[in-house]
Amino acid sequence: MASNEEILAGLAEIVNEETGLATEAVELDKSFTEDLDIDSISMMTIVVNAEEKFGVRIPDEEVKNLKTVGDAVSFISNAQA
Amino acid sequence: MTRKVVITGLGATTPIGGDVPTMWTNALKGVSGAKTLEDDWVAKYELPVHFAARCSTPALEVLSRVEAKRMDPSTQFGVIAAREAWADSGITDVDHDRLAVAFATGIGGVWTLLDAWDTLKEKGPRRVLPMTVPMLMPNGVAAAVSLDLGARAGAHTPVSACASGTEALHLGLDLIRSGKADVVMCGGAEAAIHPMPLAAFSSMQALSRRNDDPEGASRPYDMGRDGFVMGEGAGALVLEAEEHALARGARIYGELAGTSVTSDSYHITAPDPEGLGATRALKAAMFDGRIQAEDVVHVNAHATSTPVGDKPEYTALRAALGTHVDNVAVSATKSQMGHLLGASGAVEAVLTVLAVYERKAPLTINLENQDPEIPLDVVTSSRELPAGDIVALSNSFGFGGHNAVIAVRSI
């Protein structure tokens, strides 16, 4: 079980790996598309890497609801519970 | 009146240099880029061939990690070479709707394809990354170069095995002559030093097995030749309509005077033993460029170092150039960098352009006991090319019976 801080840090590493964005730029209120400029292919890569890292399953139909980094952190946290 | 097409930019990343100046210095010195492979998969799969010619500068030393992640290794090499050629051309202002790309590959994204297959088998479909398709598609390199340069007049990928790189120049010349573009980024890229292609080329007896002497393994025209050495990398050339180049005061390396492509329709892999397809290609390129045999001073030969491949090319050169072939300085540069497959024609075109521009022929190494059935004047030590108007040819032949020739004329 990871805390929300740990999930955010892990997600930030995944985003950095995929896009080169600084990990500090990955904040809870940031929108993946609007603020972080992440396209759909990168988003799917991030989702798949997050599934492996956190041992959860993020269904394809759920991905469109993950608008902000915070949405993803909450989803992963709930899925782990 | 046919539009004249000139070459104004050169780029390369190869086993004997990660950029054009380094490659050219080494090509005149005579070095080998072949080395024993240290990868654990060589022993794991008991590959019969233990060496290859890797790019001397890894792509990750040039590209950012994030950039590289979205490209197959072949595309990485292509983008590196294209960027160098573009910078070298000095073009700062271009009508992007008149800028095209003709960037070839022989095999394409084989690393991406096979990595994804391994992932599917080991981890399941969810782990197959969404970038897999755009990375493995053969047009991936042309698409990436087009994105990088903002080229919007079309991005093409000629695929004709080891003739691909030369065929890209044939297409590029056509695009400018026919008025479809003013500037074309041409090239070829390949990255197939992976255990599967090595096993496949080995099983067809195409690769040298001189495992105890990688540097001596690629020996075109030598009696001891036993196959080619797998290389990797990319070459890129900026083709430009002459009036476009003159208008911006460009440095012009030479004219792409003529090109041609023919097909053997003889055998899927073996070259026509009489070199008829290659002869027709040579004659057609010379006709296209209004070139007489006596104009030709230098040939960058296809010469892969296979027992069966080197001789028909000689037969074709003699048929096309007649007795003048005895006066032509022939370089077999695969002796130094191995066979870059779909990139070889592009890299050899860069060398051919530089030979005409600098009036120097690159060296052929490892020629110790020349095959008496191939009595060419092979360049094995420093050789100046004559002053005045000169022409050099570069040949490429590919599995499938593809023959492609380019002719470069001095300016």
pLDDT per residue, tens digit, chain B (411 aa), is: 689 999 999 999 999 999 999 999 999 999 999 999 999 999 999 999 999 999 999 999 999 999 999 999 999 999 999 999 999 999 999 999 999 999 999 999 999 999 999 999 999 999 999 999 999 999 999 999 999 999 999 999 999 999 999 999 999 999 999 999 999 999 999 999 999 999 999 999 999 999 999 999 999 999 999 999 999 999 999 999 999 999 999 999 999 999 999 999 999 988 888 899 999 999 999 999 999 999 999 999 999 999 999 999 999 999 999 999 999 999 999 999 999 999 999 999 999 999 999 999 999 999 999 999 999 999 999 999 999 999 999 999 999 999 999 999 999
CB contact under 8 A, B126 and A44: no
φ, ψ for residue A56, nearest 5 deg:
-125, 170
Q: Do the bridges between strand B402-409 and strand B391-398 make them parallel or antiparallel, or are there none, so unpaired?
A: antiparallel
The single residue listed with the structure tokens 């090239």 is B187
Residue B329 host element (H or E): strand B329-331
* SS3 call for B221: coil
**Which listed CATH number (1.10.1200.10, 1.10.300.10, 3.50.50.60, 3.90.550.10) goes with A4-80?**
1.10.1200.10
Of the residues A13, A15, A16, A18, the best mutation for testing chain B's interface (the one with the most B CB atoms within 10 Å of its CB) is A18
Catalytic positions of B, written as ranges: 162, 302, 339
Residue type, B136: L
B66 → closest Cβ in A19, A51, A52: A19
In 3D, which of A81, B126, B354 has the Cα closest to residue B331? B354
B335: closest CA among B296, B387, B284, B300? B300
CA distance B115 to chain A (A): 15
Q: Residue B356: which of B288, B275, B300 has the closest Cα?
A: B300
Among residues B305, B283, B314, B299, the alpha carbon closest in space to that of B351 is found at: B299
Q: Around B64, how many Cα atoms within 13 Å sit in the side-chain half-sphere? A: 8
Give the burial class of B311: count Cβ atoms within 10 A of its Cβ; 0-12 exposed, 13-18 middle, 19 or more buried. Answer: middle
The reported pTM is 0.96
User: Which residue of A48, A49, A56, A57 to mutate against B (max B Cβ within 10 Å)?
Assistant: A48
Chain B residue with the nearest C-alpha to that of A40: B130
Q: Which of A41, A46, A58 to mutate to test the interface with B (most CBs of B within 10 A)?
A: A41
Q: How far is residue B99's CA from residue B82's CA, in Å, rounded to a whole number?
A: 13
Cβ of A45 and B66 within 8 Å?
Answer: no
B92: contact with A, CB 8 A cutoff: no
Sign of CA dihedral A49, A52, A56, A60: positive
Q: Is A18 an 8 Å CB contact of chain B?
A: yes
Helix (H) or strand (E) holding B330: strand B329-331
Is residue A9 less than 8 Å (CB to CB) from chain B?
no
Segments making up each domain of chain A, as ranges = 4-80
> Do residue B131 and residue A45 have CB atoms under 8 angstroms apart?
yes
Is residue B324 within 8 A of residue B296, CB to CB? The reply is yes
